[in-house]
């Protein structure tokens, strides 16, 4: 609990510092102060509203025991096993198989799955996936991923402003254009590295926690392999438009390879499934 609170605090501080650095470039001391104020306000706004923003980005629709009885009952059963409040349940009308959890705490959590994953996975595999998402809720790290996703997008937008309008020194004179280009490239990269530092370890822990909630590590391993195989060639438009949200998904939803894979917020699927299968065989999950 304390560790996740510390991570959240450090994340917020790092994001605000990036805002300040870009503000200082654009408008000197006054620009830095204004950017720090805006960054702090956005952190507060993201804390209370980032889950709604992300669900809206993905055009997620809320379902219940009437509109999606099997899916809703599955989530309810897992939430009871994990001793968690029942989260809100959403469906995203997209072919790519994927899922995520969001919300600032277990009392205000939501889980979402694409129609692609609901149609593709067996009931047992889907149970493993949703147990993974509820493990994120139980570990109280969904706030970290949601805030980092929304704030990373804001930093990229602010960096683009710096590139387009350039910087000013204390006397209002234009600064080096090359510095503006560097800021526009390095600021989003820094935000992405912050996400990476937190996200990869979180996925391993959610795999472990999900396997414990469901009692079936093999099911989650099978689901991850199937999702990776089916996801290729199936674009998730909202993720492509908002790549900062990719780290929230159970598997990287972005279509890019090469360097993009190198900076992926998710560990290699083979490593994840290897750990899960070792866990299923009774070996220590490290």
Following DSSP, what letter does each residue of 133-160 receive, concatenated? Answer: HHHHHHTT-HHHHHHHHHHHHHHHHHHH
HSE of 247, CA atoms in CB hemisphere, 13 A: 31
CA 149/CA 153 separation, integer angstroms: 6
- The CA–CA distances, whole Å, from 6 to 3, 11, 163 equal 5, 8, 33
Asked whether the CA dihedral 144, 146, 151, 152 is positive or negative, the reply is positive
Percentage helix, strand, coil for the chain under 3-state DSSP, each rounded to 5: 70, 5, 25
User: Is residue 170 annotated as a catalytic residue, yes or no?
Assistant: no
Pairing mode, if any, of strands 88-92 and 110-114? parallel
List of residues 6+ apart from 159 with CB closer than 8 A: 22, 183, 184, 185, 187, 188
Considering just the CA atoms, what is the radius of gyration of the chain in Å? 20
Given 133, 203, 228, 244, which residue is catalytic?
Answer: 133
CA 237/CA 254 separation, integer angstroms: 9
| Residues forming the active site | 133
């Amino acid at each position: 609990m304390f560790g996740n609170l510390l991570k959240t605090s450090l994340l917020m501080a790092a994001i605000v510092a990036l805002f300040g650095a870009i503000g200082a470039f654009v408008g000197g001391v006054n620009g830095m102060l204004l950017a720090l104020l805006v960054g702090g306000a956005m952190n507060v706004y993201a804390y209370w509203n980032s889950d709604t923003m992300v669900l809206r980005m993905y055009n997620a629709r809320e379902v219940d025991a009437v509109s999606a009885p099997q899916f809703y009952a599955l989530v309810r059963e897992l939430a009871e096993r994990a001793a968690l409040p029942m989260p809100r349940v959403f469906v995203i009308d997209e072919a790519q198989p994927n899922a995520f959890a969001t919300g600032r705490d277990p009392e205000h959590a939501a889980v979402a799955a694409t129609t692609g994953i609901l149609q593709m996975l067996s009931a047992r595999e889907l149970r493993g996936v949703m147990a993974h998402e509820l493990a994120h809720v139980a570990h109280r790290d969904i706030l970290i991923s949601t805030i980092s996703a929304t704030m990373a997008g804001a930093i990229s937008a602010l960096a683009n402003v710096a590139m387009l309008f350039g910087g000013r020194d204390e006397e209002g004179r234009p600064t080096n254009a090359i510095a503006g280009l560097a800021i526009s490239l390095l600021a989003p990269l820094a935000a992405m590295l912050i996400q990476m530092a937190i996200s990869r370890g979180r996925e391993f822990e959610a795999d472990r926690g999900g396997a414990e909630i469901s009692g079936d590590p093999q099911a989650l391993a099978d689901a991850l392999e199937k999702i990776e195989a089916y996801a290729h060639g199936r674009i998730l438009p909202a993720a492509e438009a908002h790549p900062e949200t990719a780290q929230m998904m159970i598997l990287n939803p972005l279509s890019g390879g090469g360097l993009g894979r190198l900076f992926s917020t998710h560990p290699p699927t083979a490593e994840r499934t290897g750990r899960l299968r070792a866990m299923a065989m009774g070996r220590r999950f490290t």
